[in-house]
Amino acid sequence: MRVLVTGGAGYIGSHVVRALLEAGHVPIVYDNLSTGHAEAVKECELVEGDVRDRERLSATLRQYRFDGAVHLAALSLVGVSMREPSQYFDNNVAGGLVLSDALIAADVPWLVLSSTAAVYGDPEVTPIPEKHRMLPTNPYGESKLALERVLGWYEKAYGFRSIALRYFNAAGAHPKGDIGEDHNPETHLIPIVLQAALRKREFIEVYGTDYPTPDGTAIRDYVHVVDLAAAHLAAVKRLAGGASGGAYNLGSQQGYSVLEVIETARRVTGRPVEVRYGARRPGDPPVLVAAATRAQAELGWKPERTLDGIVESAWRWHVAHPAEEREQV
């Protein structure tokens, strides 16, 4: 199938593109390259454009005959969303509407949406099931939830089918070693810890030590980016087979605290990592762990890689791709 992949040059997107290629599909990447990297998707065609650009997007859809789409183009920093909610609703909600309307006009029948565990807010139960009440604590989660709800109504009104994949914490790098997590600035825990192990930063700051958790630091569910990509492939297969939409949690169903992740990195790398402690960040729930049984039952998906495997793959990539070299690309 020919599949439009918005945001396909980004971290998760490039791994999804790789999974589609390996499965024999033809992904066409549509990305404004604001955070993505063209070299990460050099194996397929790249169209540079923003999902809010109706003319550019419509021209791309006219140029190709797409069987479906995977939508990963979004802003995703919780802290920034708290300070600049307008950017997040414009990019994530308005951009999603422009894309969905354009796909419907071009007779593209389905969409896989990159969503997030942030739609749940502070969980009432852990692990979190898909039926859990949704009350986001930050504009990022609110923007993703808004688009999920829009797509639910679009299926009822237009027959436009979609699957929302609610990520927990994506991490790791491709086993081939050529694509990995490359953000500037970096905000995700595992690469920041590895930067400290590489002495690219003096220390790792832990935000909050008074959470109601065993060691006082926030707990998150980490899933390898290659496992996430496999879930997208499963969602593409399900929608292409004519199934209706729905939402699926993507996580390992195992939570690790910030301090446990840091200790794992110390063990895997054999390097010291200095820690300093700070206040909680606004909008960060204490615990986010997935109940992912629905994805296993309906998509046939479950993660294969452990936290050690996630950190090991990320470490290999960071050692092989020093930050100073990446900045020159």
Q: Which residues pair with 31 in a beta bridge?
A: 48
- Give me the catalytic one of 120, 140, 154, 222: 140
Helices (H), 125-257: 139-158, 189-197, 225-240
User: CA-to-CA distance for 256 and 262, rounded, in angstroms?
Assistant: 10
Contact 24, 5 (CB under 8 A): no
Contact 119, 136 (CB under 8 A): yes
Q: Listing from the earlier edge strand, what are the strands of the sheet with 45-48?
A: 45-48, 26-31, 2-6, 68-71, 110-116, 161-167, 246-250
Angle at the Cα of 242 (from 239 to 248), degrees rounded to 5?
Answer: 35
Sign of torsion, CA 118 194 72 66? Answer: negative
Task: Determine the residue type at 117.
Answer: A
- How many CB atoms lie under 10 A from the CB of residue 242? 9
Whether 222 is catalytic is: no
Contact 183, 11 (CB under 8 A): yes
Sign of torsion, CA 244 247 251 255? Answer: negative
User: CA-to-CA distance for 302 and 278, rounded, in angstroms?
Assistant: 35
Residues taking part in catalysis = 140
